[in-house]
Amino acid sequence: MYIGNISLQLSDTMRILTIVSVILLPLTLITGIYGMNGLDLTKLNEMPQGFIIVILTMVLIIILLLFFFKRKQWLFIKEEKEEQLK
């Protein structure tokens, strides 16, 4: 039982780390592309709202991914299990 409990805790930890890495991956890609010197992003930089558009896009991606994980019930599993046990 002890090894099974440790395995369950490890599984929960890996699930949380996977969710964090999946959320950070597209944000890193966007910042990497936006920060490249070789691309012609002068049009985006000349627009006063260009930076805000990039930041809002990144926030939208975070919200969509969190909604997806919540819908698939990969988030807040412990609280739901505790409510079911009561």
What was the pLDDT predicted at 78? 61
Q: Is residue 75 part of a domain?
A: yes
| CA–CA dist 43, 62 (Å, integer) | 25
pLDDT digits (tens, 9 = 90+) for 5-35: 898 889 888 988 999 999 999 999 988 887 7
Q: Which residue has tokens 């490249």?
A: 36
Which residues, 6+ apart, have CB-to-CB distance to 58 below 8 Å?
A: 26, 27, 30, 31
Domain membership of residue 55 as a residue range:
41-81
- Mean pLDDT, rounded, of the chain: 81
| CA–CA dist 38, 41 (Å, integer) | 9
Residue type, 69: F
What was the pLDDT predicted at 44? 63
Count of domains in the chain?
1
Residue 73, number of CB atoms within 10 A of its CB: 9
| CA–CA dist 47, 70 (Å, integer) | 35
Q: Is residue 71 part of a domain?
A: yes
Q: Is residue 49 part of a domain?
A: yes
What was the pLDDT predicted at 27? 92
Q: What is the mean pLDDT of residues 44-52?
A: 71
pLDDT digits (tens, 9 = 90+) for 49-65: 777 888 899 999 999 99
